[in-house]
A and B are shown apart, each in its own frame.
Chain A
Amino acid sequence: MGRARPLLESALAILVGLIAGGLLMLPFRYDPLRAYQALFRGAFGTAHDILETLAFATPLMLTALTFAVGVRAGLFNIGAEGQMYVGAISAVFAASLLPLPPGIHIAVATLAGMIGGALWSLVPALLKIWRGVHEVISTIMFNWIAFHLVTYLAIYYLAEPGRAERTRPALPTARYPVLAEGSTLTAVIFVAVLFCLAVYFFLWGTRFGYELRLVGENPEAARYAGVRIGQALLRSFLIGGLAAGLAGASQIIGRPPAGPCMPRWGTWSPWASTASAWPWSAATIPWGGSWPPSSSEPFSTAAGLWNTTPAWSPSWSAL
């Protein structure tokens, strides 16, 4: 009980997920133990593997945050995908076309990505607030619009001359430094973790965070408390958009080689990465304790649904 409970829940979720996955392997005559061993070794086998795992974890913890902060406001915001694309392309603009001094350039490119993501979440947010359009529908649609818009921009406006399959590379001044020789983990992970911490503090340490959670928990009580529900929902969408936009930017200016590359655009399906974000939600939502830390159970029942998804989250666990 007490503080250990969220940890136990997450552990249980992981266990159930592993068992379910293992059961699925059996009829196909795969050895689950060997598979998990390989999985574990691949992820944590050497120091290099751990760094790569963290590098992969960086965008995922952010897109998961998008979903989590939506759930806190009672939203099912699955628009991280599209917001991430738009964030990425915004970062490409800023990182490859604007000649800026070092330091400032990184900041500008990062912010460009975050703002791009936030702007992309704005339309579903306003549709929800003004017209009651359900966010599941609108964000899925906006994921596809983003996918095709970004593809279009990448091909017609940002393609690298001579190598049209990818965009112009980010200028060296806009790239996050690599943390260890030979790895793809860069300092952008600190920005990501910091952002997560900031959102955590916002949710449990400020009036507007309190109001956001209240709207998710009991909208009628929120109205009674004088909360402007539209504003609270807007904040949830925008924070989610900033997180997803940062995830997009992190793949452009925080992921070698060279950060020009978007070879994935053609092959990434929006579903794949949204799906990959979900297990992360399972891992992250239980971690959202209250501030200051308390013994109360901070989870919404909706979040409990996702707890059954297999999840492991080395970097977020640090929180």
Chain B
Amino acid sequence: MEPFIEMRGIHKVYPDGTVALRGVDFRLYRGEIVGLLGENGAGKTTLMKILSGLLPPTQGEIRLEGRSVRFRNPSDALRAGIGMVHQIFTLVPPYTALENILLGQEGSALWLRKEQAYPRVKRLLEEVGLSIPLDVPVELLPIGVQQRVEILKVLYRGTRVLILDEPTSALTPLEVDELFKFMRRLKEGGRSIVFITHKLREVLEICDRIVVLRNGLVTGEVQADKATPELLAERMVGHAVVPRVSRSPRPPGEPILVVRDLEVMGDLGVPAVRGVSFEVRAGEIFGIAGVEGNGQSELAQALGGLRPIRRGEILLDGKPLPPLAPIEAYRQGISHIPEDRLRFGLALHFDVAENSILSRQWEALFLRGWGRLDWPRILAFAAELVQRFQVLTPGVRATARHLSGGNQQKLVVGRELSKEPRLILAVHPTRGLDVASTAYIRELLIRMRDQGKAVLLISADLDEILELSDRIAVMYEGKFLSVGPAEAFSRTEIGMLMGGILPQEQR
């Protein structure tokens, strides 16, 4: 049988030089559900953005029913019958479902089209077996229903290929079941679905065929009935043996950070952290692995005083940490290397000296009477920081914007480590950095551990977790699936845990 869609030799290099795809072949047949599985940065979403016309490929060919096609924008792809539903919804909150479905289509005024379209949307709803209130502002609908509106929006354009990017991440288990029922019904109607996910169980449950991506390459392609979680996890995370960084052997000391039964809300109004308990001891690196979006960001923000806590407690040196008080957290000895240096860690138009006291601007060390900044001291401090942490900059009065990503991150890391902290909260500390900066920052974290500090490392980079951690927890859907010493896990086991398969199921 001829594939409905064939992508051949797809390469994608982003303008900033990041290589996302390095020669991917992908086929999609009529009436099948294909799972696209992979870790963060494997290239799943990039590949599908290319198929749906959102990104042009750097190299490679797309064939539709045997004919070579080129999509210049998502409308081109939609016209060819290919539509993508993104992780982040694109609905207009105060508009009704019907209005959202019609929005952006060419033709007469929205209110004129509404009357004509109403019966057609109704018919489509019946055909695909969905029920959605069409006359209610979508902001009043639950997330699961909003997602259906989003899907319907795409289907209404006559879509034959539906791409769903991590559609289950915000859904309750019940909503997931309903989504799957609906997907099967679409399939029976002859449509094809690409299901992007990192969840092993889901991909095994719903898909006919599974394609695994890692590092921009296809590392596995199997029929779902022949796949096992083990095989998929291995393909997803690879089996490179990571050399552990040398470290002084030392027994961990007393617990510095104790977290008990912590629950934190996510931005979508559902809990993102669901009852997590752990401790981090002096002189150890506690690594939290997991695919991004499983509650790690919210956990880190709660610990850093940036997000309210719904339940549970956080103790630092036995003292409870007041919620939503970053300065209090810093005062008690937390250093926070935030997950996104550009979003949280730096002010790009501030100079290096100003950035060197960001989050320390309240400290008496940098102030004179009347709340005046002690500039001579700040400049001296910045100069010392730049030197000590090898920040490459024309000077301390150079704007942070002009520094490379690695040097910006060294500035943030240096600033945080120079606080003489009790606990270092390091979130994706080497994301997007070159090899040298990555190695340097990892070495700094090890050194901190050797000095007896407690380090909580949150990273989506499995290599980083394996290389640095003394103990590892794997976070999935807001919970720790497993916690243990680093030596106790094989790479494949962690891969399976990241995909949501528990140890007892792994047998």
Interface residues of B (CB under 8 A from A): 304-306, 325-327, 330, 336, 338, 343-351, 354, 357-359, 361-362, 367, 370-373, 375, 395, 397-399
On chain B, the residues within 8 Å of A211 by CB distance are 361
Contact in complex: B346, A221 (CB < 8 Å): yes
Contact in complex: B373, A221 (CB < 8 Å): no
Q: How far is it, in angstroms, between the C-alpha of A61 and the C-alpha of B336 when the chains are bound?
A: 42
Q: Contact check: which of A205, A225, A291, A297 meets B361 at CB < 8 Å?
A: A225
Beyond contacts A221-B345, A223-B306, A290-B351: 6 other A-B pairs, Cβ-Cβ < 8 A, are A207-B373, A210-B357, A217-B347, A217-B348, A221-B346, A226-B362
Q: Determine how close the nearest CB of chain A comes to the CB of B341; give it in whole angstroms.
A: 9
Q: A224-B306, A225-B326, A225-B361 are in contact. Are A214 and B350 (CB under 8 A)?
A: yes
Q: How far is it, in angstroms, between the C-alpha of A148 and the C-alpha of B372 when the chains are bound?
A: 41
Q: A206-B372, A294-B397 are in contact. Are A218 and B347 (CB under 8 A)?
A: yes
Q: How far is it, in angstroms, between the C-alpha of A13 and the C-alpha of B304 when the chains are bound?
A: 44
Q: Determine how close the nearest CB of chain A comes to the CB of B216; give it in whole angstroms.
A: 30
Contact in complex: B373, A218 (CB < 8 Å): no
Contact in complex: B346, A218 (CB < 8 Å): yes
Q: How far is it, in angstroms, between the C-alpha of A210 and the C-alpha of B353 when the chains are bound?
A: 12
Interface residues of A (CB under 8 A from B): 205-208, 210-211, 213-214, 217-218, 220-221, 223-226, 290-292, 294-300
On chain A, the residues within 8 Å of B350 by CB distance are 213-214, 217, 296
Q: Contact check: which of A205, A224, A297 meets B349 at CB < 8 Å?
A: A297
Q: How far is it, in angstroms, between the C-alpha of A28 and the C-alpha of B91 when the chains are bound?
A: 50
Q: How far is it, in angstroms, between the C-alpha of A298 and the C-alpha of B351 when the chains are bound?
A: 9
Q: Contact check: which of B325, B338, B362 meets A207 at CB < 8 Å?
A: B362
Contact in complex: B372, A224 (CB < 8 Å): no
On chain A, the residues within 8 Å of B399 by CB distance are 296-297
Q: How far is it, in angstroms, between the C-alpha of A299 and the C-alpha of B399 when the chains are bound?
A: 11
Contact in complex: B343, A221 (CB < 8 Å): yes
Q: Contact check: which of A214, A218, A296, A299 meets B397 at CB < 8 Å?
A: A296
Q: How far is it, in angstroms, between the C-alpha of A221 and the C-alpha of B358 when the chains are bound?
A: 8
Contact in complex: A210, B397 (CB < 8 Å): no
On chain B, the residues within 8 Å of A292 by CB distance are 375
Q: Contact check: which of A207, A224, A298 meets B344 at CB < 8 Å?
A: A224
Q: Contact check: which of A207, A213, A218, A291 meets B371 at CB < 8 Å?
A: A207
Nearest residue, chain A, Cβ from B379: A292
Q: How far is it, in angstroms, between the C-alpha of A207 and the C-alpha of B361 when the chains are bound?
A: 6
Contact in complex: A291, B336 (CB < 8 Å): no
On chain A, the residues within 8 Å of B395 by CB distance are 295
Contact in complex: A226, B367 (CB < 8 Å): no
On chain A, the residues within 8 Å of B306 by CB distance are 223-224
Q: Determine how close the nearest CB of chain B comes to the CB of A48; give it in whole angstroms.
A: 41
Q: A210-B373, A296-B398 are in contact. Are A220 and B327 (CB under 8 A)?
A: no
16 A-B pairs in the complex with CB atoms less than 8 angstroms apart: A207-B361, A210-B357, A211-B361, A213-B350, A214-B361, A217-B347, A217-B348, A220-B343, A221-B347, A224-B306, A224-B336, A225-B358, A290-B397, A292-B375, A296-B399, A297-B399
Q: How far is it, in angstroms, between the C-alpha of A220 and the C-alpha of B325 when the chains are bound?
A: 14
Q: Determine how close the nearest CB of chain B comes to the CB of A273; give it in whole angstroms.
A: 30
Contact in complex: A208, B371 (CB < 8 Å): yes
Q: Determine how close the nearest CB of chain B comes to the CB of A286; give it in whole angstroms.
A: 14
On chain B, the residues within 8 Å of A297 by CB distance are 349, 399
Contact in complex: A224, B397 (CB < 8 Å): no
Contact in complex: B351, A294 (CB < 8 Å): yes
Q: Determine how close the nearest CB of chain A comes to the CB of B249; give it in whole angstroms.
A: 35
On chain A, the residues within 8 Å of B357 by CB distance are 210
Nearest residue, chain B, Cβ from A228: B327
Q: How far is it, in angstroms, between the C-alpha of A206 and the C-alpha of B326 when the chains are bound?
A: 20
Nearest residue, chain B, Cβ from A201: B372
Q: How far is it, in angstroms, between the C-alpha of A130 and the C-alpha of B315 when the chains are bound?
A: 31
Q: How far is it, in angstroms, between the C-alpha of A210 and the C-alpha of B358 when the chains are bound?
A: 9
Q: Determine how close the nearest CB of chain B comes to the CB of A236; give it in whole angstroms.
A: 16
Q: How far is it, in angstroms, between the C-alpha of A86 and the C-alpha of B273 when the chains are bound?
A: 51
Q: How far is it, in angstroms, between the C-alpha of A213 and the C-alpha of B359 when the chains are bound?
A: 14
Nearest residue, chain A, Cβ from B375: A292
Q: How far is it, in angstroms, between the C-alpha of A214 and the C-alpha of B351 when the chains are bound?
A: 12
Q: Contact check: which of B327, B372, B375, B397 meets A226 at CB < 8 Å?
A: B327
Contact in complex: A223, B326 (CB < 8 Å): yes
Q: Determine how close the nearest CB of chain A comes to the CB of B6; give it in whole angstroms.
A: 43
On chain A, the residues within 8 Å of B397 by CB distance are 290, 294-296
Q: How far is it, in angstroms, between the C-alpha of A300 and the C-alpha of B359 when the chains are bound?
A: 21
On chain B, the residues within 8 Å of A217 by CB distance are 347-350
On chain A, the residues within 8 Å of B325 by CB distance are 226
On chain B, the residues within 8 Å of A290 by CB distance are 351, 354, 397
On chain B, the residues within 8 Å of A299 by CB distance are 349
Contact in complex: A207, B367 (CB < 8 Å): yes
Highest count of chain A CB atoms <10 Å: which of B306, B345, B350: B350
Q: How far is it, in angstroms, between the C-alpha of A217 and the C-alpha of B346 when the chains are bound?
A: 10
Q: How far is it, in angstroms, between the C-alpha of A225 and the C-alpha of B351 when the chains are bound?
A: 16
Nearest residue, chain B, Cβ from A218: B347
Nearest residue, chain B, Cβ from A292: B375
Q: How far is it, in angstroms, between the C-alpha of A225 and the C-alpha of B343 when the chains are bound?
A: 12
Q: Determine how close the nearest CB of chain A comes to the CB of B272; give it in whole angstroms.
A: 18
Contact in complex: B351, A210 (CB < 8 Å): no
Nearest residue, chain B, Cβ from A301: B349
Q: A294-B397, A295-B397, A296-B399 are in contact. Are A205 and B372 (CB under 8 A)?
A: yes
Q: How far is it, in angstroms, between the C-alpha of A298 and the C-alpha of B399 when the chains are bound?
A: 9
Q: How far is it, in angstroms, between the C-alpha of A291 and the C-alpha of B374 when the chains are bound?
A: 11
Nearest residue, chain B, Cβ from A299: B349
Pairs A-B, 3 closest by C-beta atoms:
A226-B327, A294-B397, A226-B326
Highest count of chain B CB atoms <10 Å: which of A224, A292, A297, A298: A224
Q: How far is it, in angstroms, between the C-alpha of A218 and the C-alpha of B359 when the chains are bound?
A: 13
Q: A221-B345, A296-B398 are in contact. Are A206 and B370 (CB under 8 A)?
A: yes
Q: Determine how close the nearest CB of chain B comes to the CB of A138; give it in whole angstroms.
A: 21
Contact in complex: A214, B347 (CB < 8 Å): yes
Q: Determine how close the nearest CB of chain A comes to the CB of B46; give it in whole angstroms.
A: 26
Q: Determine how close the nearest CB of chain B comes to the CB of A106; give it in whole angstroms.
A: 26
Q: How far is it, in angstroms, between the C-alpha of A205 and the C-alpha of B368 when the chains are bound?
A: 10
Q: Determine how close the nearest CB of chain A comes to the CB of B396; give it in whole angstroms.
A: 9
